[in-house]
């Protein structure tokens, strides 16, 4: 625990900086998604607010803040108000363990460029992603609406199923790095990123995080064409905004984690480490947007089939193979 | 095995969307960019005049009868020389669906569609066009056509005075 004033100030500064950065990046990711999707579909996208539409996130925030906050009749009021926070806060919290640069030496002190370097960082992330399930489930349950309930149930089943394969695909990473600490995992990839040793685990992790942030091939919890907006169908105003921005924070966080676990985190030639990390995160964000512009939604049985009968066994076999290689070599 | 076919289809899909990413957008940025509509584009309706500068409309009510949304109304009147005209003529453009049936029904080519599609107003009542708003000075699409030169007996010219008419025969001259 940091006890002296400087440490506390430093922690607060890092928290504020990171929080501001993540929120801004998430807001602009919304704009980026709208623009890139528009380009994919030969449209222009929002380009009216400010130069090139760059003030669009600001306009969206003002719109959401000034909208009426509706609580449907018969809703479970407490859970209804709690659910958006349950969806957004774990996503932001996960950012605390991601290292976005090598430790800095400032005023003779060693400052790690992450909020906390937990020795169980990976488990912390898995635990938080489990808590994020409650946002979807409670939001769907408390809305007192059939669409929201169906979306919540789907989200619950989907997130739990894919969490399994996600966690299993991270086991080889831990085996190679000999640590749950994210800083150690990044340090272990100083020469060769783990994607070279673990392409299969990377693929499984990629598919699982797409399902984990409810993105397009796996957007069953909010499937517009059948469930209107799924678990957040009844939400309005900034509570809807929390769900919405939580989804985009999730993309950034999971992209950052994918970069940390498989692409060597902030390691990279020529450019500064923080820039490399940002580039990798943005590459994942673009991949998710690109996927949304390309892939159709899976059917529910296909989703479960892929999760339980393909990804989970593959991840288990991958763990076995990795273990065998580590033992033999 | 369909696995490789699926992978191929996946790659093809991603490649297609990536190709479209660099393509020019098909959107027309409306207030800045405008398309020029075709001459026969069906938009704002006008009432035209014949080559002599008189109103073509003879207030026959065919346009208002043809109008599927009943947005045309008028009151007919007659001048001392027998020429009919509309005492008032009103088109409610907030109801008009620009189907062009009025222009098709018009026997005198008076009511015509123009390509001017920008008729947005702040106030709905401004979309109700009266006769003085509708009437233009020109002849519109058929500059030579003059209804009373072909029909409307004895109004503009005495019987048989129009260029493509023969004077009425003296029936007695046909007697054997």
- SS3 label, residue A285: helix
Q: Is A186 exposed, middle or buried (0-12, 13-18, 19+ CB in 10 A)?
A: buried
Q: Using alpha carbons only, what angle is made at residue A137 by residues A136 and A141, rounded to the nearest 5 degrees?
A: 120
Q: What are phi and psi of A2, to 5 degrees?
A: -70, 130
Number of structural domains chain B divides into: 1
In a domain, B139, yes or no: yes
> Per-residue DSSP letters for B59-76?
---HHHHH-TT--EEEEE
- Separation of alpha carbons A195 and A201, rounded Å: 8
Instruction: Tell me which of B25, B28, B29 to substitute to probe the interface with A (most A C-beta atoms closer than 10 Å).
Output: B25
- Separation of alpha carbons A53 and B29, rounded Å: 13
| pLDDT confidence tier of residue B83, bands split at 50, 70 and 90 | confident
Classify the C-alpha dihedral A143-A145-A150-A153 as positive or negative: positive
Tell me the per-residue pLDDT of A239-254, one tens digit each, with 9 for 90 and over: 888 888 888 888 888 8
pLDDT of residue B74: 92
Tell me the per-residue pLDDT of B131-141, one tens digit each, with 9 for 90 and over: 988 888 888 88
pLDDT of residue A108: 65
In a domain, A223, yes or no: yes
The tokens describing A192, both together, are 């060769």
Tell me the per-residue pLDDT of A197-217, one tens digit each, with 9 for 90 and over: 888 889 999 999 888 888 878
Number of structural domains chain A divides into: 1
In a domain, B158, yes or no: no
What's the gap in Å between the CA of A42 and the closest CA on chain B? 4
Contacts of B132 (CB under 8 A, 6+ apart): none
Tell me the per-residue pLDDT of B14-68, one tens digit each, with 9 for 90 and over: 998 888 888 888 888 888 888 888 988 999 999 999 888 888 888 999 999 999 9
- Separation of alpha carbons A29 and A218, rounded Å: 19
Q: What are phi and psi of A88, to 5 degrees?
A: -90, -40
Q: Which residues of B touch A217 (CB under 8 A)?
A: none
Report the pLDDT averaged over residues A67-75.
Answer: 84
What's the gap in Å between the CA of A40 and the closest CA on chain B? 4
Print the domain residue range for A106. 71-328
User: Tell me, what CATH number does B108's domain have?
Assistant: 3.30.70.3270
Q: Give B100 or B150, the one with higher predicted confidence.
A: B100
A254 touches A209 (CB < 8 A): yes
In a domain, B5, yes or no: no
Average pLDDT, chain B: 87
Print the domain residue range for B80. 45-151
pLDDT of residue B72: 92
The closest of A189, A188, A190, A174 to A125, measured between CA atoms, is A174
> Per-residue DSSP letters for A116-174?
---TTHHHHHHHHHHHHHHHHHHHHHHT--HHHHHHHHHHHHHHHHHHHHHHHHHHHHH
A263 touches A255 (CB < 8 A): no
Please name the residue ranges forming H helices in A41-76: 56-66
B14 vs A294: CB contact, 8 Å cut-off? yes
The tokens describing A90, both together, are 């774990």
In a domain, B71, yes or no: yes
Q: Which residues of A touch B24 (CB under 8 A)?
A: 42
Tell me the per-residue pLDDT of A219-228, one tens digit each, with 9 for 90 and over: 887 777 787 7
pLDDT of residue A5: 80
pLDDT over 70 at A1, yes or no: no
Report the pLDDT averaged over residues A103-125.
Answer: 76
In a domain, A9, yes or no: no
B36 touches chain A (CB under 8 A): no
pLDDT of residue A256: 87
pLDDT over 60 at A2, yes or no: no
In a domain, B106, yes or no: yes
- Identify the closest residue of chain A to B29 by CA–CA distance: A44
Q: Is A256 exposed, middle or buried (0-12, 13-18, 19+ CB in 10 A)?
A: buried
What's the gap in Å between the CA of A203 and the closest CA on chain B? 13
Q: Using alpha carbons only, what angle is made at residue A10 by residues A9 and A13, rounded to the nearest 5 degrees?
A: 85
The tokens describing A28, both together, are 């602009």
The tokens describing A289, both together, are 């947007």
The tokens describing B50, both together, are 């014949």
In a domain, B74, yes or no: yes
A133 touches A160 (CB < 8 A): yes
A302 sits in which H/E element: helix A300-304
Q: Is the ipTM of this complex over 0.85?
A: no
- SS3 label, residue B86: strand
Q: How far apart are the first and last CA of chain A?
A: 40
- SS3 label, residue B168: coil
A286 touches A255 (CB < 8 A): no
What's the gap in Å between the CA of A169 and the closest CA on chain B? 21
- Separation of alpha carbons A198 and A202, rounded Å: 6
In a domain, B92, yes or no: yes
pLDDT of residue B89: 92
A109 sits in which H/E element: strand A109-111
A205 touches A262 (CB < 8 A): yes
């Amino acid at each position: 625990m940091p006890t002296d004033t400087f440490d506390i100030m430093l922690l607060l500064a890092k928290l504020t900086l990171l929080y501001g950065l993540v929120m801004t990046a998430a807001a602009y990711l919304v704009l980026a998604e709208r623009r890139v999707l528009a380009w994919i579909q030969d449209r222009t996208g929002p380009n009216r607010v400010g130069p090139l539409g760059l003030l669009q996130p600001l306009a969206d925030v003002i719109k959401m803040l000034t909208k009426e906050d509706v609580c449907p009749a018969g809703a479970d009021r407490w859970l209804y108000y709690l659910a958006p926070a349950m969806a957004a806060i774990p996503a932001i919290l996960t950012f605390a363990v991601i290292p976005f640069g090598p430790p800095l030496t400032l005023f003779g002190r060693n400052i790690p460029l992450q909020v906390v370097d937990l020795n169980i960082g990976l488990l912390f992330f898995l635990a938080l992603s489990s808590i994020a399930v409650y946002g979807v489930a409670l939001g769907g349950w408390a809305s007192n609406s059939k669409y929201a309930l169906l979306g919540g149930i789907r989200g619950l089943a989907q997130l739990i199923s894919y969490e399994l394969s996600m966690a299993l695909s991270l086991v080889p990473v831990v085996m190679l790095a000999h640590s749950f600490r994210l800083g150690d995992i990044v340090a272990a990839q100083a020469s060769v990123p783990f994607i070279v040793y673990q392409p299969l685990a990377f693929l499984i992790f990629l598919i699982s995080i797409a399902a984990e942030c409810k993105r397009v091939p796996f957007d069953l919890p909010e499937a517009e064409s059948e469930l209107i907006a799924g678990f957040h169908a009844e939400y309005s105003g900034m509570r809807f905004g929390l769900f919405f921005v939580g989804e985009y924070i999730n993309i950034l966080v999971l992209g950052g984690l994918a970069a940390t676990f498989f692409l060597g985190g902030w390691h990279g030639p020529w450019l500064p480490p923080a820039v490399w990390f940002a580039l990798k995160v943005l590459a994942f964000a673009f991949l998710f947007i690109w996927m949304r512009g390309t892939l159709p939604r899976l059917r529910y049985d296909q989703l479960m089939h892929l999760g339980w009968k393909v990804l989970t066994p593959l991840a288990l076999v991958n763990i076995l193979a990795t273990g065998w290689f580590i033992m033999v070599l | 095995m369909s696995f490789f076919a699926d992978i191929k289809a996946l790659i093809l899909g991603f490649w297609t969307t990536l190709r479209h990413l660099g393509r020019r957008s098909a959107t027309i940025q409306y207030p800045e960019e405008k398309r020029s509509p075709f001459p026969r584009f069906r938009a704002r309706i006008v009432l035209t005049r014949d080559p002599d500068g008189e109103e073509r409309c003879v207030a026959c009510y065919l346009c208002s009868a043809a109008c599927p949304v009943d947005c045309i109304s008028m009151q007919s009147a007659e001048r001392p020389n027998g020429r009919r005209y509309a005492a008032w003529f009103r088109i409610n453009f907030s109801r008009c669906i620009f189907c062009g049936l009025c222009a098709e029904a018009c026997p005198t080519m008076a009511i015509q569609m123009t390509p001017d599609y920008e008729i947005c107003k702040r106030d709905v009542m401004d979309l109700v066009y009266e006769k003085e708003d509708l009437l233009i000075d020109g002849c519109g699409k058929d500059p030579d056509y003059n209804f009373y030169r072909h029909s409307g007996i004895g109004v503009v010219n005495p019987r048989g005075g129009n260029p493509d008419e023969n004077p009425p025969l003296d029936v007695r001259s046909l007697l054997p």
